[in-house]
Amino acid sequence: MANLTLVQAVNDGLATVMRDDPSVIVFGEDVGPKGGVFLATENLTKEFGEQRCFDTPLSEDGIIGTAIGMAMNGLRPVAEIQFQDFIFPAFDQIVSEAAKLRYRSGGQYTAPMVIRTPYGGGIRGGLYHSQSGEAYFCHTPGLKVVIPSTPHDAKGLLIAAIQDPDPVLFMEPKALYRSVKGEVPEGLYTVDLSTLRTVQAGDDVTVFCYGAMVPVAMKAAAKAAEQGIGVHVVDLRTLLPLDEEGVLEAAKRTGRVVVVHEAPRFCGYGSEISALIAENVIEYMEAPVKRVTGFDTPFPNTLEHHYMPDERRVLDAIEQVHSF
């Protein structure tokens, strides 16, 4: 197995599936000869040519509209939005067209397409390059929303997303692009969508997290272990569709739950996890669900380290629900 960073695993996943399936087309702003601003598409144009990996104009709605047309006509497009913050000009194309195509056509047409986009903070990008907008899209039936946190999952989930018959928003935590490394199998493999991953087993407190918050949760869990608190850390991986049964079983395991994400708190994804638990397994709960999130403000530049949840804030939440 190769030892890759997360962004290298994304690149390897794209190259692997493009070799396997000639209908896979990669395009977006600067993804061609330059290889993208984070080099996620490095060398793809060199290997596959400009017919299969090419640059587009600075037009997010045009990028996604083109992908929808390709997907309806036998191709499997992988469209990159350079930063998730810039995806909103294409919002209508995603939620009103791509996500609804199967339903509105009675199954005659589908949109087997992937929208790749880096999201989140951690690189001092300021308010226009650091947002976490996953909750906007998780409200959309017909769309899948996937967020990897390890190189192994990044490649396997990406290949599964490309092979899926419906549109997938594949959000990549840019803070982890080069800060994590791991073994990645060679060749074609998939990680099933709608399955969570148990990162660490524990019996006292369950922490649900995803993306860049997984390493943060693990650091907090290590600190909690020094106090004798066993933390069960769960990486959700696929936010839509959610592995609801897996979430409920993990919540029941400890009866104490913390949910961590870097998006703002109000109507954030943690609200859905909290509601799911309250509606289904409230009798197993020993404490209220605690959320650790970003704040309900624009993403700050100089105060980024205060805005994003860190191990101290997560540890504090673990201690609160444990002692409730």
Q: Give me the catalytic one of 129, 232, 261, 322.
A: 129
pLDDT tens per residue across span 13-38: 999 999 999 999 999 999 999 999 99
Q: Give yes or no: 129 in active site.
A: yes
Structural element, H or E, at residue 2: strand 2-5
Q: Which two tokens stand for residue 171?
A: 């959000």
The mean-pLDDT minimum among 10-19, 169-178, 227-236, 299-308 falls in: 299-308
- Is 52 exposed, middle or buried (CB count within 10 Å of its CB: 0-12, 13-18, 19+)? middle
pLDDT of amino acid 274? 98
**Residue 305, phi then psi, degrees to nearest 5:** -70, -20
Residue 177, pLDDT > 90, answer yes
DSSP string, 172-231: EEGGGTTT-EEEE-SS-----TT--EEEE--SSEEEEE-TTHHHHHHHHHHHHHTTT--E
Specify the domain boundaries for CATH 3.40.50.920 within the chain. Answer: 197-323
* Residue extent(s) of CATH 3.40.50.970 domains in the chain: 2-184
Is the CATH number of domain 2-184 3.90.25.10? no
Residue 87 CA, distance from chain mean position: 15
Residue 1: pLDDT band by 50, 70, 90 thresholds?
confident
Average pLDDT over residues 220-227: 98
Residue 178's pLDDT is: 97
SS3 content of the chain, % helix, strand, coil (to 5): 40, 20, 40
pLDDT of residue 12: 98
Q: Which CATH number fits domain 197-323: 3.20.19.10, 3.40.50.300, 3.40.50.920, 3.40.50.880?
A: 3.40.50.920
Give me the pLDDT at residue 46, please: 97
Model pTM score: 0.96
Confidence (pLDDT) at 123: 87
pLDDT digits (tens, 9 = 90+) for 234-286: 999 999 999 999 999 999 999 999 999 999 999 999 999 999 999 999 999 99
pLDDT at 41: 98
Do residues 111 and 166 make contact, with C-beta atoms less than 8 angstroms apart? yes
Q: Are 86 and 122 in contact (CB under 8 A)?
A: no
Give the Cα separation of 307 and 281 in Å (integer): 31
> pLDDT tens digits for 129-171?
999 999 999 999 999 999 999 999 999 999 999 999 999 999 9
pLDDT band at 302; cut points 50, 70, 90:
confident
Tell me how far CA of residue 295 lies from CA of 118, 209, 235, 298, in angstroms.
Answer: 20, 16, 22, 8
38-71, pLDDT tens digit by residue?
Answer: 999 999 999 999 999 999 999 999 999 999 999 9
- Nearest Cα residue to 81 out of 43, 131, 46, 19: 131
Predicted local confidence at residue 301, as pLDDT: 87
pLDDT at 124 over 90: no
The predicted model gives 85-94 an average pLDDT of 97
